[in-house]
Amino acid sequence: MPDAIFADDRLAALYDHFDADRGDLPAYLAIIDELGATRIVDVGCGTGTLAVLLAASGRTVIGADPALASLGVAERKPGAGRVTWLHAGAAGLVDAWAGREPADLAVMTANVAQVFLSDDDWTAALRGIRGVLRRGGHVVFEARRPEFRGWEEWVTTQLPTTLEIPGIGPVERRFTLGEVRLPLVSFRFEYRFHADGAVVTSESTLRFRSRAEIEESLDAAGFAVLEVRDAPDRPGRENVFIARAVD
């Protein structure tokens, strides 16, 4: 089940305001250009920022997400009509694809690849993605490097923040680091709506897999790893995997 920040209507409406910095996206746009992909599925598309950008360039784009609240935000964005939106998680892509042509490339940005906590869920996600790609198509995604131990700095970088949200009013966000039991790390965001005093929380857990684990899982799911790059906007912190679908 998606976290509340994506699935709760009140919180989904805040996402693009509190997480407005998408400095990660230019690297993905460059990779997609490099691979010559014209038919793309954005897996875990959330509020659709990348999907809308890709569609604006003339590509055929399918944005898939299991959170209806996030898809609702995505569908209201300028240019959203150029995107086909699917209510589906990675594991359910094949069933939701409904006879569409296979995609050239699947992409997962931000924390999407780390929300699959069990090995079974991660395997099902990769197989779902493989099932909608053409032979020779690509999957591109990022994952935080566990050796960097990024969660240790979250408590100093995720400071309480209050934003004035159009149509909603002031909203304060507070972060709390939860249990760290590697490879799992949990955390919570609390949102206080000043207009009515409501407090809504979102609990999240991420799975930190090593590069070797991810490469092995890709191989088992029918992908050949072509390259593992550093994330240019977060050097030393993340791996960006580029893999090709094989028989």
**What pLDDT, on the 0 to 100 scale, is given for residue 82?**
98
Give me the torsion for CA of 73, 74, 76, 82, rounded to 10°.
-170
What string of pLDDT tens digits covers the 247 residues of the chain? 789 999 999 999 999 999 988 888 999 999 999 999 999 999 999 999 999 999 999 999 999 999 999 999 999 999 999 999 999 999 999 999 988 999 999 999 999 999 999 999 999 999 999 999 999 999 999 999 999 999 999 989 999 999 999 999 999 999 999 999 999 999 999 999 999 999 999 999 999 999 999 999 999 999 999 999 999 888 999 999 999 999 7
Nearby residues of 102 by Cβ (< 8 Å), 6 or more positions away: 39, 132, 133, 134, 137
Buried b (16+ CB within 10 A) or exposed e, 65-90: bbbebbbebbeeeeebebbebbebbb
Give the whole-angstrom CA distance, residue 151 versus residue 126.
25
For 4-146+208-245, give the CATH class: alpha beta
Q: What is the CATH number of domain 148-206?
A: 2.30.30
In degrees and rounded to multiples of 5, residue 130 shows phi and psi of -60, -35
Give the whole-angstrom CA distance, residue 95 versus residue 55.
23
Beta strands 184-193 and 199-207: pairing type? antiparallel
In which order are the strands placed within the sheet that holds 184-193?
Answer: 161-165, 169-181, 184-193, 199-207
**What pLDDT, on the 0 to 100 scale, is given for residue 28?**
94
Instruction: Map out the domains of the chain as residue ranges.
Output: 4-146+208-245, 148-206
- Shared fold status for 4-146+208-245 and 148-206: no
Decide if 187 contacts 204 (C-beta within 8 A).
yes
List the structure tokens of 189: 């965001």
Decide if 116 contacts 150 (C-beta within 8 A).
no
Identify the CA nearest to 110 among candidates 190, 179, 16, 39: 16
What global pTM score does this model have?
0.95
What spatial distance separates the first Cα and last Cα of the chain, rounded to whole Å?
31
- Kindly report the length of the chain: 247
